[in-house]
Amino acid sequence: MKEVGFLNGQVDAALTRQGHMDLLMVVDAGFPVPDHVELIDIALKADTPSVPEVLAELCKVHSVEKLVLAEETRRHNPGYFEKVTTRFWEDAELEVIPHTELKLRSHEVKTIIRTGDFTAWANIMLVSGAGDRWKLEVPPEG
């Protein structure tokens, strides 16, 4: 019996399928998920789990090189924006785009995890990274 890491088998399997630069989203309860994108709905009740709760677990096991959030998140929920962009994957690049563009880009995502979060514009796109396990004999220039 699995007792560590993600206990939700669908989330665990989705993470295993993520490769470098693949896209994964964690979204609020009302995000319009495209029909062709895998949806893992873990909403239990209002605000449970929240997007930050899911991110806290994801960051333990998933390498991310870039976070993509909506400008509306920064403008309307600045405290929330600060929390999700500084608490998890602190070395990740940050891209801020209009919410309408985030919804368009959601069509390119492998998997969307829907939470019970009722924070407006709580949606976040994660660009999977290579992590720090990869070996180099000679570091890249730059």
Active site residues: 20
Cβ neighbours around 115 below 10 Å, total: 26
**Residue where the block lists tokens 């924070």:** 119
Q: Is the peptide bond before 49 cis (omega within 30 degrees of 0)?
A: yes
Strand order in the sheet with 38-41: 38-41, 111-114, 23-27, 124-128, 64-70, 93-97
| Total number of residues shown for the chain | 142
**Three-state SS at 57:** helix
Pairing mode of beta strands 23-27, 64-70: unpaired
- The candidate with the shortest Cα–Cα distance to 90, out of 43, 38, 129, is 129
